[in-house]
Amino acid sequence: MPRRLGRFAALAALLTAAFPPCGTLPAAHAQGAGPASLRLLTRDADAVVQARIAGPTTMEAGGRAYSVVQAEVVGTFKGNVSQGALVFANPGPGAPEFAAGDEVLLFLHNLERVAELVATPLQGRLRYVAMPNGGEKILLTASVGPYLTDAVRRYVALEAIPDAESRSEALRQLTLGLLKSGQPVLVTSVMRDFKPGGDAAALTLADLPALVPLIESPRTPIGNRIALVAELERRGLIFGPARWVRLLRTSTSSDLVAVIHAVQEHPSAGVNAHLIPLLEDRDFAIATAAASALGVPGNVEAVRALTVCFGREDAELRTAALTSLGRIGTQSARQALEMVAAKHRDPALRWRAEVEAVVLARRHGTTLAPSFGAGSEAAVAAAPQLPGLAPAR
């Protein structure tokens, strides 16, 4: 009895963490903004230059050392920066790490725009601060440099178009052209414009003939293909379920795993039907990804197939199946969890299944199956046998 009381005391602690008391909220997670697109960087910068880095160093000012970078400007795309030597501030944990010899695009803010530096002794000694851009630096290698600098020139030219409607159409055409270029670095940059807060052009139905080959081409990085399908579906330009199923059917290996992870956010009957057979794939990475993706609330069609995973030898697959049953949250999913908690050969999995089952019971305001109470051996023995479950004792 003491062991059982201790076990349920630990379970109660887990449930308290899962359902915090009213009025308590998890602490906010401080996270800097991720890298921006070339379009946004160009638009927001006071100056954009091509430069060769001489090296990072420090500058003493007012008894404090500030991180700065020495560079040689070899070309200016925006602003009034002369060719030759340039020293700019590069502060903060999100600042890129420049190295001597780097050939880079620099997106610069006037120092007075940076609140934490405007009142420091650097004011009057330096003119520019590097835009942090989530720690990402834009290297101008021989293979991608010409494409990047050409794109920046064209983005700068957009800003000189006075008419808003003409400027918007020019941006749409440029966006489409960069997507059609097939250059991964440019496609990735454009796809960043599609995220919330981005500055994407309003692609239309007339642009689909140019965009579909990008979705279909295996040469397009899978992340960009996924992002493009998601964005076109969001805009109502394509029928998403059919496109997600086609991506599943035509992708292999690591690309397939990436697609499977993505489709969890885009469930449909067709996606469901394609994922369920993948639970039996010999590649456990694929099977595990499928098990996770099937964890959609109310996805009762996947419950029976997920229980089959408990008979397979891969622990990560079994855990993914268990977690998905908890997300599905239906009565049949809870019954499967209770059976695993009562009879599976893996003690750790039994314990996790019990936690999931109790969480669901609490969420639904229902009681647990008799298998969690005293005198339940007969009920457990009478329950149907599931794959991977040990005989009742």
Q: What is the pLDDT of residue 329?
A: 94
Residue 386 in contact with residue 340, Cβ under 8 Å? yes
d(CA 54, CA 26): 45
Rounding to the nearest 10 degrees, give the CA dihedral for residues 264, 265, 269, 272.
0
The structural domains of the chain, with segments of one domain joined by +, span: 38-147, 161-236, 272-393
Residue 332 in contact with residue 319, Cβ under 8 Å? no
Place of tokens 């692609």: 203
- Topology of domain 38-147 in CATH is OB fold (Dihydrolipoamide Acetyltransferase, E2P) (2.40.50)
Q: What is the pLDDT of residue 39?
A: 93
d(CA 358, CA 303): 18
Average pLDDT estimate for 8-25: 34
pLDDT digit string (tens) for 108-154?
999 999 888 888 889 889 999 999 898 999 999 999 999 999 999 99
Q: Distance from first CA to last CA of the chain, Å, rounded? A: 18
d(CA 336, CA 169): 55
Average pLDDT estimate for 205-224: 86
Residue 46 in contact with residue 110, Cβ under 8 Å? yes
Identity at 247, one-letter amino acid code: L
Q: Which of 25-34, 68-77, 363-372 shows the highest mean pLDDT?
A: 68-77
d(CA 206, CA 297): 36
Residue 98 in contact with residue 56, Cβ under 8 Å? yes
d(CA 213, CA 301): 33
Give this prediction's pTM.
Answer: 0.66
Q: Is 289 exposed, middle or buried (0-12, 13-18, 19+ CB in 10 A)?
A: buried
User: Between 220 and 392, whose confidence is greater?
Assistant: 220
Which among 255, 237, 254 is positioned nearest to 246, based on CA atoms? Answer: 255
- Topology of domain 272-393 in CATH is Leucine-rich Repeat Variant (1.25.10)
Does the structure show a pLDDT above 70 at 368? no
Residue 57 in contact with residue 70, Cβ under 8 Å? yes
Residue 129 in contact with residue 114, Cβ under 8 Å? yes
The model's confidence at residue 234, banded by pLDDT at 50, 70 and 90, is confident
Q: What is the pLDDT of residue 199?
A: 63
The model's confidence at residue 359, banded by pLDDT at 50, 70 and 90, is confident
Q: What is the pLDDT of residue 197?
A: 57
Extract the tokens encoding 88.
């700019």
Does the structure show a pLDDT above 50 at 378? no
Q: Would you say the C-alpha torsion 134, 135, 139, 144 has a positive or negative sign?
A: negative
